[in-house]
Chains A and B, each alone.
Chain A
Amino acid sequence: MNGNYVVTREDWSLHRKGEIDRQRHQEKIKEALKKNLPDLVSEETIITSDGQKVIKVPIRTLDEYHFYYDQNKKTHAGQGDGKSKVGDVLAHEPNAGSGQGKGAGEEPGLDYYEAEITVDELAEMVFEDLGLPNLKPKKKAELASEAVEFKDIRKKGISSNIDRKRTVLEAIKRGALSGQTGLTKITPDDLRFKTWELTYKEESNAVVLAMMDTSGSMGVYEKYIARSFFFWMVRFLRTKYQNVQIVFLAHHVTAAEVNEEEFFTKGTSGGTRCSSVYKLALEIIKNRFNPRDYNLYAFHFSDGENLFSDNELCLMLMKELLNQCNLVGYGEIKNPVYGYGDSTLRSTFKKLTDPRFVTVIIKDKNYVYPALKKFFAPAQGQ
């Protein structure tokens, strides 16, 4: 018979296994997110969020696959409070209509994984693949702002600015000179401090001319696509420029500058004359945004159903826009059900060979991310 015992308490501080595998899991989540970027980019909760929110993203690829019984078709056992009876409802399946994410919700079923990321983290991943082509130095140096930059290392400084790595290196070097290996005591002489310099940063400005066809043929879905695109476009440009202004221009037969809300929500009926909005854009550039001072990005979304007689004029105006802007894009949104083939407007634009003119066709939500990548392809046109 045994039954002896020992009670001990050891130092576990070096035991990092769980943490290491947790990190590997996090890495895999990130990989999975990357694979899902086309889906995530047009995720409604992101586009309509205030920009800081943490969003939950279901990640199916991190499921652990085994042979399982169909949880929805078998019975499970539970325990009541003494008064349960046949027919009692224990839980409702949440979002029964959404169709995705099986087994979600209450206890029964298999759990699927939801990763939490902030919009910023997601943006970082999206922007990793994007670049800013055709940057031209703009004259507006007089608006330069002061900036602090740490770029020098000195032996004197304030203690909050100690450069630990260099300090330790110095100590090791000094030790090595006197024949000692490893880190010895750090002396005041080893201390190194980071020091800043004042620099002048040029203020850089970008303007997005967001143009959209709001004629009757552009429905809620088409506008949502445009909205996702502009959402990321503006966010991306903000990482590159201190100031990004957006000018919203809506048009059908005539064009007008509108505010953001009207731009995305208001619909009008009637025909389409795209030249009207290009004309307006050119006017606005002329009056308010001198291309010498601003980086101009123009993007126009339409379903391409333009008045045939208007196409030649559009082509001419588009050429003019290209002269003024860093990049001009034309996005044609195809209805996923019955939209196919090229519109006459797009065919007309094919005559444009300037690499700074980019056309994209968006057939569903998943095309937004490739469209962004195409528009902001790093080395384009250089």
Chain B
Amino acid sequence: MDTRDELRILEEAIEKIIAKAKELGLDFYDMYFEICPADIIYTFGAYGMPTRFSHWTFGKAYHKMKTFYDYNLSKIYELVINSNPCYAFLLEGNSLIQNKLVAAHVLGHSDFFKKNLHFKRTAKNMVESMASAAQRFREYEQNYGRDKVEVFLDAVISIQEHVDPYSWMGAQEPKEGQQAGKKSSWTKENDLTNGVEQKETPYDDLWRLDNLQKSPSVEKQKEKDKKFSPKSQKDLLLFIMEQARDLEDWQRDVISVIRQEMLYFWPQMETKIMNEGWATYWHLRIIREMELAEDEAIEFAKMHAGVIQSSRFHLNPYYLGLRIFEDIEKRWNQPTVEEKKKYKRLEGEGKKKIFEVRELENDISFLRNYLTKELVEELDLYLYQKEKDEWKVVEKDWAKVRDEIVAGMTNCGYPYIVVEDGDFNKRGELYLRHCYEGINLDVYYLEKTLPSVHQLWGRTVHLETVLDERKIIFTFNGERIIKRFI
């Protein structure tokens, strides 16, 4: 069979799958399916996006994934991009049934990207934004030298998680025409994520830049911000980008890009279980309703089993998400007598309910609301911890297991660090505070990361945290780390 026939057969299959998905109620973006060789899929996997900028850490990730693939240890079947239209990359050499599963799976993702509330603010043209950022970075490399750009990127990447995805909450919604000058600099545009909704033409960004330059109040505003830094700013990247004194324009641009990209990826990080569970639920559902030959059915079952395989060391988001969605559907289809009475739950509402859940929740609320005692016990979930040199199961009580899992998802599992002062000691020093919630920071990594912050800030930096129940400040002054309990 030549490749054109293959493509035609796949097209026919996808046609049917799409029709079925629509019939079942999925609402997704226009789809681009692209068939790629393995090393391309792995490149995309490592970068998170086909067009992203170059950095050795991506090369490292790529190398690792590719090696696992080469040794047949793991395989990515697909990659899907949150964009409109939605890009889905299929692995060359997938069998037809594999591609059917994958196509159904990515329709689930596409529906999730389009309908889940937390994705509402993500830029849908990120493929293009990232490409143009990558192009600018290449120019910076040419102008300022590869090593210089790389060292700077290293530093920014090391604190890239410290953004504030919820800065828009509580802040005034930007209104068209007046965003530039009046808003506090925390939500100031050149912030693609916030801007995207009001976008009418692809050039709106540019007009806005015009406004920025024209508006005389911007500079004043900046001055003001320097003096009256708002308390507890979580968006470390934004703070540094705007307030660090010695950064050059290209450096501020690099920070801005990495921040935007982090904000773009954030909703995917905080809905991993739901998103994968939802996609798994739908590939199962759609393929079950299609006619399969016997050998196809067996291959499908095998592949699906691979997807939902559990691990003793971590939660499989595909499996956990799938089971929770199935459980919700069941419980809302056939509520118990008590549920009927107490919550006035009607029968047969399962489907409506799972669509509602996929729209409103993220992983934290998803698990907190729907990971039940029965599920925890049936799935045999537990907590384990290191005791001396052994990793041991330490907790089986369902509520504690659930609560700890949920707690671990706070801030996508990263320590919550805020800027307390950008002019500490009246010497322009940066004072960061880790909001301690019972878990120590890794001191080795802390001491290696703090110099990156110093590199960006250009002056002495401090980080306050808690070690062994005592408050401690780590200070890096450009030469060495100083520790001091307070």
Q: Which residues of A pack against B, CB within 8 Å?
A: 1-10, 12, 15, 17-26, 28, 62-93, 96, 102, 106-108, 110, 113
Contacts and interface: CB of A to CB of B under 8 A. Distances in A.
16 contacts: A5-B33, A7-B14, A8-B32, A21-B58, A21-B62, A24-B56, A25-B57, A65-B158, A66-B449, A68-B415, A68-B442, A74-B439, A79-B310, A80-B380, A80-B381, A102-B444
Given A77-B381, A81-B380, A25 B60 contact: yes
B46 interface: yes
B311 A64 contact: no
B404 interface: yes
Contacts of B46: 18
B59 A22 contact: yes
B35 A87 contact: no
B441 A69 contact: yes
Given A5-B30, A76-B383, A64 B408 contact: no
B31 A106 contact: no
Contact of B401 (A1, A77, A83): A77
B62 A22 contact: yes
B314 to A, nearest CB: 6
Contact of B40 (A1, A15, A87): A15
The 4 A-B residue pairs with the shortest CB-CB distance, nearest first, are A21-B59, A18-B43, A107-B313, A96-B389
B241 to A, nearest CB: 18
Contacts, number: 242
A89 B417 contact: no
B441 A67 contact: yes
B440 A66 contact: no
Contacts of B207: none
A76 B32 contact: no
A70 B438 CA distance: 11
Interface in B18-61: 18, 21-22, 27-37, 39-40, 42-43, 46-47, 54-60
Interface residues of B, number: 88
B313 A78 contact: yes
Contacts of B29: 2-3
Given A5-B32, A66-B158, 20 more contacts: A7-B35, A8-B35, A12-B36, A21-B56, A22-B66, A24-B59, A67-B415, A69-B439, A70-B442, A75-B385, A77-B314, A77-B381, A79-B382, A81-B380, A83-B380, A84-B393, A87-B392, A91-B390, A93-B389, A96-B388
Centre residue among A3, A6, A9, A73 by max chain B CB count within 10 A:
A3
Contacts of A1: 27
Given A67-B434, A75-B395, A3 B28 contact: yes
A7 B391 CA distance: 47
Q: Counting chain A CB atoms within 10 Å of each CB, which of B14, B56, B443 scores highest? A: B56
Contacts of A63: 445, 448
B284 interface: no
A82 to B, nearest CB: 5
Most central of A7, A23, A91, A110 by chain B CB within 10 Å = A7
Interface of B: 3, 7, 10-11, 14-15, 18, 21-22, 27-37, 39-40, 42-43, 46-47, 54-60, 62-63, 66, 85, 92, 157-159, 161-162, 310-316, 319, 379-386, 388-396, 401, 404-405, 408, 413-415, 417, 434, 439-446, 448-449, 452
B34 A10 contact: yes
A333 to B, nearest CB: 32
Contacts of A73: 386, 439-440
A65 B59 CA distance: 16
A4 B31 contact: yes
Nearest to A96: B389
A75 B384 CA distance: 5
A3 B392 contact: no
Nearest to A79: B310
B313 A108 contact: yes
A131 B1 CA distance: 61
B382 A84 contact: yes
Contacts of B10: 7
Residue of A28, A72, A75 with most partner-chain B CB within 10 A: A75
A90 B313 contact: yes
A66 B384 contact: no
B74 to A, nearest CB: 14
Contacts of B32: 5-6, 8
Contacts of A102: 444
Nearest to A11: B37
Contact of A76 (B30, B380, B384, B445): B384
